[in-house]
Structures are given as C-alpha cells and as structure tokens.
Amino acid sequence: MAALVGESDELETLVRRVLDDAADEAEGRHRVSLLISASQAVTRDLDLTTALQRIVEAARQLVRARYGALGVIAPDGGLERFLHAGLDDETVTLLGRPPSGRGILGAVIADDATIRLPRLSDDPRSVGFPSHHPPMNSFLGVPIHVDGEAYGNLYLTERDSGPFDDLDASVIASLAAMAGTAIANSRLYARSERSRVWLEAAEELSRRLLAGELSPDNGPDIVSAALALTGAPTGQITLDDDARLIGTPPADAGGAGTDDATDDAMLTRFVESVTIARELARARVDERRIALADERDRIARDLHDHVIQSLFAVGLSLQSVVGDPTTPTGARIASQVDAIDSTIRQIRQAIYRLSAPPSAAAYSLRARINTLVRETLEGEDLDSGLEFQGPVDTLVNSELGDEVVAVVREALSNAVRHAKASRVDVAVAVRGAEVSIRVVDDGRGLGESTRRSGLENLRGRAVERGGTFAVATAPTGGTELLWRVPWGAS
C-alpha cells in the first residue's frame, strides 16, 4: 500500500510540475493530455511499435524538444527497434540505417544512467554525425528498464529554450518507465503466443500419432510434421542416431524480441510431449499385436476342440456304414472319409501355424517387406531401393498385408527373371484411404512377349480389392508397376 501511495504522490507531483511549466491553461491541458495519451498507449496498443511511437512523440512535445528517438535493446544486446519523431521523411531516407549505439547513445546504454548535456559536441564521448544529419546541441538520454533489466533508451535533442532541466529529466524518466512497461508487456504477449503455437503443435502431432495417421516408427515423417506445425526452421527438430526426437536451437537463435531460455524450454517440452505420444502409439501397436495373438490362440483351440472332433466323429460314422468298399456306394463313402482325413490334417497344420506366436518381424509389414526384398535379391547383381510412406504398419491389416507382400514378391520376381535390370526400386505408401505399391526397374522394358501371366495376376489381385493396376515404360527406360487398393477393403 505504501508503494502505491508513493507512486501516486510521484505522479501527482509530476503532473503539477508539468502544469506549472505550461505557458497558459490551454498549454497545460495539452501537456496533461500528452501524458494521458502516453500512459494509454501502454494498455491499449497491442502493437509495440505504435505504442512506442506515441510515447516518443509525447516525450518530444512535453519537453519542447525538436527531435526524439527511442531504441529498444534485443535480448542478444543488439538494437531491435529504433523509432524517431521530428525528422521528415526525406531526411530519414538520406540518413539511411539507424544509429548502431556508438558514441553518446552507447554511453546511455553502457552507463544505464540519465545523461543531460547542454551541448552534445562538447562531450568527449560524442562521435559526430553522419552527412545529411540535422544539427543537434542540447541532449537528454534516459535508460528504459524494468526491474533492473535494460530494455532500451529514450533520447531527446534540441530543446527550443536552452538545455534540458530537472523537470525535463523527471518527465522523460516517467515516459521511459511507461515505455519499459509496454516493451515488457509486448514480449510477454509474444512469449505466450509462441508457447500457444508449440502447445497446439504438440497436441496435434500427438493426436495424429495416437490416431494412427502417423507411424511412431516413421521418424522422418514425424520430423516433417513437427516442423510444419511449429514453423520451426529446418534442423531445429531432428532425429538422433537411435531415431529419437531431439530439439536443437538454431545457430542464429536470439533474434528480435525472443528469449533464448524460454524458447529452449518450449522446444524441450514439445520434444518430450511428442516422445511420450510416440511411446503410447507404440504401446497401442503392441496391444493390437497381443490381441491378435490371443485371437489366434482362441481360434486354434476352437478348431482343435470342436471342428476336428466333429469331423473325426463324422468320419467314424461314415466308416461304420461303408460296407463293401468295392461297390459304387461304398467307394463314394470311402472317398469322403479320405477327404475328411485330409481336411483334418490341413486343419492341424493351420492350428500349428496359429499356435506359433507372431514375431515383431512377422507382424510388421515394413519388416516383412524388408526381409522379402533382401532375400529375393540376395545373390542377384541388382542395386535396390526401398521406401515407405505413411502409417504402413498401423493402417494395413494382416490380410491386406499378406496381399501387399505377395504383390511385391511377384513384381520383384518379374524384375529378376525377365527385366535384365541393374536396379529396382520399391515404394510402399499409405495415403488417405489408399495403399499403393510402385516398383520401377531400369531393365529392357515390357518387350513383345505375349506371356504375361504374372502381370495379369497382379491386375486380378487389385481388381478383387476394388483397386487398379497399371504397367508402363519407366522414365529410366525400364518398367514401372503401380498397384493401388483401398486399405479399408475386405
């Protein structure tokens, strides 16, 4: 409470002194309105440049200075903004770049104290003016800071009635405090906006991972999505050697109006959040794998306990009525018993396959295709390339996965046996509601052969699932196969 009373008394004293310094009542009202306008700029103008421009203009008029300027120091120590009042557009154009903070302007920054000079050129710290610069004699420079932290400086020159006095210094100090509040508020708002962007990006990326739109094992796609959502520069979000997401601040961090420590913390929280989402997405894949294994066990038990036993009972009943197997009726019944025995053997083989726990390689379509390509091309004089795009392991079910593996096997076999190629490239992608397989070789092309049973087989597989199959001459001169089906097809 004492602090508030002190601030109120200080402001009241300042207003009274401003009024006493006015030539008449009208000027007094005008000077008070300038103070009010400057104070309102702090709370009403979200745009920092607009608020500071109003403050520097009010400062110039309140102390009857011909020129005024305000410099804002960036977190990295450079000059973030430089605003001025009193200079016409032509002079500003001729002067070119704003001052860099040397000389007496730099002294206000370095000393972090008010400097008041009756004649600027008499001070040994003055470095003179560039060409086209208007003459400036009297000078008043006041630092802008909040809670001991330097934010910038407010400068006035060329007072119309001699050197600046104590009242002028008090007025400008109050306006410098207002400017400090405006700068602090603007940076706080910018920081909250950056935080919002990072938070929303983390939420969206987590949603895509948990919804299966992004595979948790597809690191490059995750990085691309992260950069697009956050607007971060390339290289700020990358993968380490173990395909884990990492955040690396860019080399030129510390740009205008930013806080390195705060931005690093936002980046760290983003990476941690997405990493957790990746682990949860992997856990869901594992849960589905376990559920699949449980279902296989249940089916195997049902086949053994019910289907085989029922078939065995039917077979025994038929054998009991065979009679003479040489008669037509006996022979037919005997053949059906043999068929039942064969079916029982097939079911037992299926039970054995179902009972074998699916390995990660068998469950992962990516791993299966990787193994297929390696085994098919092993020993062949062929270079190869393999690319996956989209949530291949997440959205492609086991039935369609078997079909995809069969298509890739057939396409690779064609390239090995008939194309006489030196390279073959395979790309498997899941985009939208479609699974596509593209196989390109640089071999001799389709040729004139009329025996294309393998290609017709690929076409038939696509048509059965409501998809398409196309074969054409590749840009390399070889053959390009493109097989597409809906991933939701049964």
**Could you give the CA distance from residue 305 to residue 308 in angstroms, rounded to a whole number?**
7
Statement: residue 11 has pLDDT above 70? no
**Could you give the CA distance from residue 119 to residue 360 in angstroms, rounded to a whole number?**
82
* Band of residue 254 on the pLDDT scale cut at 50, 70, 90: very low
Instruction: Please tell me the least confidently modeled range out of 4-8, 168-172, 246-250.
Output: 4-8
User: What is the mean pLDDT of the segment spanning 318-332?
Assistant: 74
Instruction: List, as one string, the DSSP characters of 66-89.
Output: EEEEEEEE-TTSSEEEEEEES--H
- For residue 256, the model assigns a pLDDT of 45
- The rounded mean pLDDT for the chain is 77
**Could you give the CA distance from residue 120 to residue 260 in angstroms, rounded to a whole number?**
37
Of 285, 286, 292, 288, which Cα lies nearest the Cα of 209? 285
User: What is the mean pLDDT of the segment spanning 460-483?
Assistant: 89
User: What is the mean pLDDT of the segment spanning 213-241?
Assistant: 85
**Could you give the CA distance from residue 118 to residue 134 in angstroms, rounded to a whole number?**
17
* Number of Cβ within a 10 Å radius of residue 278: 24
Of 252, 265, 236, 237, which Cα lies nearest the Cα of 75? 252
| pLDDT tens column, 403-426 | 899 899 888 888 887 778 888 999
Q: Which tops the pLDDT comparison, 47 or 384?
A: 384
**Could you give the CA distance from residue 397 to residue 237 in angstroms, rounded to a whole number?**
31
Statement: residue 432 has pLDDT above 70? yes
- For residue 470, the model assigns a pLDDT of 93
Residue 424: what are its φ and ψ, rounded to 5°?
Answer: -140, 135
- For residue 452, the model assigns a pLDDT of 59
Statement: residue 481 has pLDDT above 90? yes
